[in-house]
Amino acid sequence: MGQLNRGACSTWKDGLLMIRLDGIVPTLVMLTLATMTASCGGSAPPPDDQPSVVVVPPIQTIAAADEPPPGEWPDKPDPPRTGPAHVAVACQFTDGWVSVLPTELYDPGEEFLMQALIGLAEEPSFWEQAGYGRFRDHRATRCTDRGTTVDVPTGSHYLLIGWANQFSVKGQYRDNGYLEQITLQPGETRHFKITTDRLTHTWLCISCPYLLAHGAGGLDELGQVLVDRYTRRRKGTDVVQAQVAVRDGRVTLTIAEREPEITHLDAIEVTTANRRLSLALAAPAALRQIDGQDLQLSLGEQLDLVFEAPAIPDGLIDVEIHVTGHYEPVGPLL
């Protein structure tokens, strides 16, 4: 041990010599009985030939823990979850779409909502102009059997799932969707596995022009045509198979526009037994071939078309009707 500096101060207490060094943490020193000169006003210890000094490291005191010992821990709630919530959806069918919409944006009276959410993903420029721009941040995403995860804020939402391209299969809009209101907590992940038997909600599409034909009972509705062809970029040809009546060597078809939209017809063709029936001379020339020259129909208008069927006896025949064109909704659809 080195020499004690003059600045050191020592005192006796209960047989121990407490030495305080200037600028140094107090150190506990144990001394055997020895003769030492008192300093800082202290008295000398009992006489001895040589003092023996032992330095003891400072003692660290650890405060007792407030918690009970192991094995007696009380149950503690999980820490609060933070961050966004997640909705994981697996669609067990093709052409599935999913959107998670804040409750305040959901309007049960908006019949074209699901089509708009899908359209904002495929045709954003059209659907934003059509009055659905406020839904752009919630546009639908593809939903497959591998699963799709949508990140959303916490709170109340509606889960919307749609099964697209089913009109041509079912002939109507029915049981093509899933709808459920859900409440999500911070950091929560909600899982959904949707099969076709859970699709009990019906999403409507923008109505398309209607095709009618004279049949056995008079004028028969054959359904809608140009389904989902709501922009020029989606222009194409729909094929309808039907039974129509031949009367006096002619077949008559009617196309009617019943909604606030404009139908653009480029061409209409009727075939039977690999034979093409010619449009009557009085029919609009724009409909004789696919050439980009459209005939337009607006709300409340209809077009009667006569096709020549010479040498075919009166009665019902099987035909294929090819309708080429598209349609455009007029103004906001809300």
Q: pLDDT: is 38 or 172 the higher one?
A: 172
Same domain for 308 and 247: yes
Write down the pLDDT at residue 205: 66
Can you tell me the mean pLDDT for 202-231?
Answer: 80
Share of the chain above pLDDT 70, in %: 70
| Nearest to 250, CA basis, from 186, 203, 319 | 319
DSSP state of 66: S
Q: pLDDT: is 97 or 8 the higher one?
A: 97
Write down the pLDDT at residue 62: 41
Measure the CA–CA gap between 255 and 191, rounded to whole angstroms.
Answer: 45
Would residue 64 count as lying in a domain?
no
Measure the CA–CA gap between 165 and 93, rounded to whole angstroms.
Answer: 12
Same domain for 113 and 142: yes
Would residue 133 count as lying in a domain?
yes
Would residue 73 count as lying in a domain?
no
pTM over 0.75: no
Would residue 71 count as lying in a domain?
no
Please tell me the total count of domains within the chain. 3
Can you tell me the mean pLDDT for 3-8?
Answer: 42
Measure the CA–CA gap between 5 and 134, rounded to whole angstroms.
Answer: 82
| Nearest to 159, CA basis, from 96, 206, 89, 109 | 89
Same domain for 108 and 33: no
Measure the CA–CA gap between 231 and 203, rounded to whole angstroms.
Answer: 20
Would residue 79 count as lying in a domain?
no
Please state, in angstroms and as integers, the Cα–Cα distance from residue 126 to each residue in 84, 137, 190, 231, 323, following that order: 30, 15, 32, 8, 23
Please identify, among 135, 169, 198, the residue that sits at the C-terminal boundary of a domain: 198
pLDDT at 33 over 80: no
Which ranges in 143-225 belong to alpha helices (H)? 167-170
Two tokens, residue 126: 């059209």
Which ranges in the chain belong to alpha helices (H)? 113-122, 124-127, 167-170
Please identify, among 198, 219, 245, the residue that sits at the C-terminal boundary of a domain: 198
Can you tell me the mean pLDDT for 74-101?
Answer: 78
Q: State CA 222 to chain mean position distance.
A: 36
149-206 confidence digits (pLDDT tens): 999 999 999 999 999 877 655 555 678 899 999 999 999 999 999 999 999 998 876 5
Residue type, 283: A
pLDDT level of residue 207 (50, 70, 90 thresholds): low
pLDDT at 38 over 70: no
SS (H, E, C) 220-260: EEEEECCCCCCCHHHCEEEEEEEEEEEECCEEEEEEECCCC
Range of the domain at 30: 9-56
Can you tell me the mean pLDDT for 93-113?
Answer: 90
Question: What phi and psi, each to the nearest 5 degrees, are found at residue 103?
Answer: -55, -35
Same domain for 151 and 258: no
46-64 confidence digits (pLDDT tens): 444 554 444 545 544 444 4
Share of the chain above pLDDT 90, in %: 46
Write down the pLDDT at residue 132: 83
Same domain for 252 and 215: yes
Task: State the average pLDDT for the chain.
Answer: 77
Check if the beta carbon of residue 157 is closer than 8 Å to that of residue 151.
no
Same domain for 48 and 90: no
Same domain for 161 and 192: yes
111-139 confidence digits (pLDDT tens): 778 888 988 898 787 777 667 888 999 99
Write down the pLDDT at residue 130: 66
Kindly report the CATH number assigned to the domain that includes residue 126: 2.60.40.1120
Write down the pLDDT at residue 330: 65
Same domain for 45 and 153: no
Of how many residues is the chain composed? 334
Q: pLDDT: is 229 or 158 the higher one?
A: 158
Would residue 121 count as lying in a domain?
yes
Would residue 68 count as lying in a domain?
no
- Ramachandran bin of 223, using left for φ above 0, alpha for ψ from -120 to 50, beta for the remaining angles: left
Position of tokens 């398309």? 208
Would residue 77 count as lying in a domain?
no
Same domain for 323 and 215: yes
